[in-house]
């Protein structure tokens, strides 16, 4: 069997794209940071709230924070530190500093409830946390029940120039009243930690190796339930090299401005923005609150980014803005939609409004996270997740674990240097998804004869009606194509006759839409067993921090209804 038979996507690669990434050039994430500093020096690396850090600044400041962690706190390699903040200049300083100190970073969503925070803190065994003071009141509620010994509080403007820092922090706390009162006392301010780090400059840093753990990244996982994927420096740097290989075909080294609108604590934005683009000398503009559409449009107008990193829902919210539609887009080179499935209707509208294409990729936390992407050197094939990245193998398998013929449906399995080491403290779940070097994704997919992959649905979300498979995404996509539908989510509910039956949740674009009207539309397009037996209209749908419809929460709504 030749390479094209076992890896049909290679026939779709251009000559300039090698099938493998070769040896890594950096020995750790910290080494990547230092190499970027040497190469790009005073070029802008990260901007936020109107202020900018150069590559040299990022390297020096992360060194200082690392010196504080090792010299002042005495933290040892392998100990865990939680980072809980939105996109601020403090984030790259803190994460790069922690990784240089040999620590394991635990990224935590700032919107976690106290209970969710406690679960992550306790499970990870974290000993330190860097948290935005806006969320300190929630930390206070659970701190005594965790192993945390060191609390570092930061304010929104901490890395801004002194006068601007004072103004911003005063406005956030006193005018906008976004900092709830809390009783935490044994804390260190981030600014004081940085001063202490200066005193410890020159302290011996541990040797950090490629196979050392870099992240505990919490996820629902392919098997369900919250747990942490164990991700090494090698995993992250491999994925950085894999992503950079196609991106470098269309982007100029050291010459692009990137909109980082997704949260850096999400593995997709961290790997793409903090590692891939940073390591290529690009300027990342950090968006603290992407839900502020007016502010986001202003950022697009002011900074004129040439690369945009979005999710489908964020792209749609921009399209819904009249101010966004007044912008010019001739300078934009690349727009990537990651983190969730791209709606075909959003892709078409985006193309019509901006003249640029939305490039969809695919990843999962367990793969650090990117597995495939549409070819950025050509027109994207909308509806697909593109081609496997270099050094990535993909098989579509049947229920017995055997590869299926091209064009047939099965579970997608992934193999490559970006695949995690396993789940922290979950050996059974690890064994269920990591088999003979392959990661079983739990996603149902097909592969074309030229290597393009189409995700059909999540295996665990599939609805089985009288033995027939119904994929929620198919139902959602069709409902979304109706001009009076703004958003949709589908789940299966138990049914005595058919085992399960679909229920469709809908957010109206037009208030005149009726259930009968939508059912008639769906009836004309769907086989009988695929049609929802019920349509539930809601003002909004529950979503994750990156905009994915949370089907488990939709099921919970139905359970609450029955109760």
My answer on whether 12 and 37 are in the same domain is no
Is 451 domain-assigned? Answer: no
The span from the CA of 474 to the CA of 544, in Å, is 20
Q: 3-class DSSP state for residue 461? A: helix
Share of the chain above pLDDT 90, in %: 80
pLDDT for 1 equals 43
pLDDT for 138 equals 94
pLDDT for 165 equals 96
pTM for this model (two decimals)? 0.86
Average pLDDT value for residue range 428-451 = 95
Average pLDDT value for residue range 144-148 = 97
Which residues lie across from 337 on neighbouring strands? Answer: 310, 360
pLDDT for 99 equals 98
Per-residue pLDDT reduced to its tens digit, 329-355: 999 999 998 876 787 888 999 999 999
Residue 199 near residue 332, CB atoms below 8 Å: no
Average pLDDT value for residue range 144-150 = 97
Is residue 479 very low, low, confident or very high in pLDDT (cuts 50, 70, 90)?
very high
pLDDT for 552 equals 86
The span from the CA of 407 to the CA of 453, in Å, is 9
Is 456 domain-assigned? Answer: no
My answer on whether 56 and 11 are in the same domain is no
Average pLDDT value for residue range 131-160 = 97
My answer on whether 164 and 277 are in the same domain is no
Is 350 domain-assigned? Answer: yes
Q: Residue 315: CB partners within 8 Å, gap ≥ 6?
A: 335, 337, 346, 350, 358
The span from the CA of 105 to the CA of 101, in Å, is 11
Tally of structural domains, the chain? 3
Share of the chain above pLDDT 70, in %: 97
The span from the CA of 375 to the CA of 221, in Å, is 27
Average pLDDT value for residue range 466-492 = 87
My answer on whether 109 and 244 are in the same domain is no
Task: Give the domain-ending residue among 173, 208, 243.
Answer: 208
Q: 3-class DSSP state for residue 81? A: strand
Average pLDDT value for residue range 44-72 = 98
Is residue 322 very low, low, confident or very high in pLDDT (cuts 50, 70, 90)?
very high
Is 221 domain-assigned? Answer: no
pLDDT for 406 equals 97
Torsion of Cα atoms, 250 then 253 then 257 then 258, to 10°: 60
Per-residue pLDDT reduced to its tens digit, 293-320: 999 999 999 999 999 999 887 898 899 9
Helices (H), 304-393: 312-319, 322-325, 344-354
Q: Residue 504: CB partners within 8 Å, gap ≥ 6?
A: 475, 476, 479, 488, 489, 490, 518, 522, 532, 534, 535, 536
Per-residue pLDDT reduced to its tens digit, 183-226: 999 999 999 999 999 999 999 999 999 999 999 999 866 555 57
pLDDT for 30 equals 98
Is 16 domain-assigned? Answer: yes
Helices (H), 270-372: 293-303, 312-319, 322-325, 344-354
My answer on whether 252 and 191 are in the same domain is no
* 110: CATH: 3.40.50.980
Residue 524 near residue 517, CB atoms below 8 Å: no
Give the Cα-Cα-Cα angle 269, 270, 272 (nearest 5 degrees).
60
Average pLDDT value for residue range 8-18 = 97
Which residues lie across from 307 on neighbouring strands? Answer: 258, 334
Computed over every residue of the chain, the mean pLDDT equals 93
My answer on whether 149 and 79 are in the same domain is yes
My answer on whether 505 and 426 are in the same domain is no
Average pLDDT value for residue range 471-486 = 90
Per-residue pLDDT reduced to its tens digit, 239-283: 999 999 999 999 999 999 999 999 899 899 999 999 999 999 999
Range with lowest mean pLDDT among 136-150, 310-324, 336-350, 430-444: 336-350
Q: Is a pLDDT exceeding 70 seen at residue 470?
A: yes
My answer on whether 197 and 258 are in the same domain is no
My answer on whether 177 and 239 are in the same domain is no
Per-residue pLDDT reduced to its tens digit, 101-122: 999 999 998 888 888 889 899 9
Is 8 domain-assigned? Answer: yes
Q: Residue 392: name the closest of 271, 275, 247, 238 by CA.
A: 238
The phi and psi torsions of 469 (rounded to 5 degrees) equal -80, 130
My answer on whether 64 and 89 are in the same domain is yes
Is 229 domain-assigned? Answer: no
* 504: CATH: 3.30.300.30
pLDDT for 2 equals 54
* 347: CATH: 3.40.50.12780
Is residue 527 very low, low, confident or very high in pLDDT (cuts 50, 70, 90)?
confident
Per-residue pLDDT reduced to its tens digit, 364-409: 999 999 999 999 999 999 889 999 999 999 999 998 999 999 999 9
The span from the CA of 113 to the CA of 358, in Å, is 33
The residue that leads in pLDDT, 118 or 561, is: 118
Structural domain harbouring 311: 3-23+234-391+422-433
Is 219 domain-assigned? Answer: no
My answer on whether 126 and 9 are in the same domain is no
pLDDT for 559 equals 84
My answer on whether 535 and 487 are in the same domain is yes
């Amino acid at each position: 069997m030749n390479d094209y038979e076992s890896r049909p996507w290679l026939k779709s690669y251009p000559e300039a794209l090698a099938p493998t990434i070769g040896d890594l050039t950096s020995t750790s994430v910290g080494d990547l940071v230092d190499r970027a500093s040497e190469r790009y020096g005073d070029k802008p690396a990260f901007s936020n709230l109107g202020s900018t850090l150069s590559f040299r600044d990022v390297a020096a400041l992360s060194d200082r924070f690392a010196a504080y962690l090792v010299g002042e706190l005495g933290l040892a390699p392998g100990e865990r530190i939680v980072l809980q903040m939105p996109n601020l200049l403090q984030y790259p300083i803190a994460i790069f500093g922690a990784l240089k100190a040999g620590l394991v970073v635990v990224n935590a969503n700032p919107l976690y409830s106290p209970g969710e925070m406690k679960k992550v803190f306790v499970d990870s065994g974290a000993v330190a946390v860097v948290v935005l003071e806006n969320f300190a009141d929630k930390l206070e509620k659970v701190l005594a029940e965790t192993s945390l010994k060191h609390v570092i509080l930061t304010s929104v403007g901490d890395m801004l120039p002194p006068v601007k820092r004072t103004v911003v922090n005063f406005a956030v706390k006193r005018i906008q009243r976004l900092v709830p009162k809390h009783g935490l006392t044994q804390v260190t301010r981030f600014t004081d930690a940085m001063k202490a780090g200066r005193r410890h400059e020159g302290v011996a840093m541990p040797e950090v190796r490629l196979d050392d753990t870099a992240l505990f990244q919490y996820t629902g996982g392919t098997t369900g339930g919250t747990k942490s994927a164990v991700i090494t420096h090698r995993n992250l740097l491999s994925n950085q090299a894999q992503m950079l290989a196609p991106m470098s075909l269309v982007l100029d080294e050291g010459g692009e401005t990137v909109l980082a609108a997704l949260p850096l604590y999400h593995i997709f934005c961290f790997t793409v923005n903090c590692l891939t683009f940073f390591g290529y000398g690009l300027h990342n503009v950090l968006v603290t609150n992407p839900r502020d559409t007016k502010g986001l449009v202003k950022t697009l107008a002011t900074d004129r980014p040439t690369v945009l990193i979005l999710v489908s829902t964020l792209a749609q919210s921009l399209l819904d803005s009249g101010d966004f539609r007044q912008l010019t887009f001739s300078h934009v080179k690349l727009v990537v939609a990651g983190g969730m499935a791209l709606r075909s209707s959003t892709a078409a509208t985006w193309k019509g409004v901006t003249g640029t294409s939305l490039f969809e990729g695919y990843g999962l936390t367990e793969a650090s996270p990117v597995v495939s992407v549409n070819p950025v050197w050509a027109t994207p094939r909308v509806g697909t997740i593109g081609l496997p990245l270099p050094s990535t193998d993909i098989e579509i398998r049947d229920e017995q674990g055997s590869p299926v013929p091209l064009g047939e449906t099965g579970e997608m399995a992934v193999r490559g240097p970006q695949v995690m080491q396993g789940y922290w403290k979950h050996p059974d779940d690890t064994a269920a998804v990591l088999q003979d070097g392959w990661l079983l994704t739990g996603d149902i997919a097909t592969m074309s004869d030229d290597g393009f992959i189409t995700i059909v649905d999540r295996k665990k979300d599939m609805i089985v009606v009288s033995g027939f498979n119904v994929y929620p995404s198919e139902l959602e996509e069709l409902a979304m194509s109706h001009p009076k539908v703004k958003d949709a989510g589908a789940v299966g509910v138990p049914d005595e006759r058919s085992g399960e039956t679909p229920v469709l949740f809908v957010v109206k674009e037009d208030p005149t839409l009726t259930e009968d009207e939508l059912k008639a539309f769906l009836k004309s397009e769907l086989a009988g067993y695929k049609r929802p037996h019920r349509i539930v209209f809601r003002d909004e749908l529950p979503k994750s921090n990156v905009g994915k419809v949370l089907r488990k929460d939709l099921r919970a709504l139905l359970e609450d209804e029955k109760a």
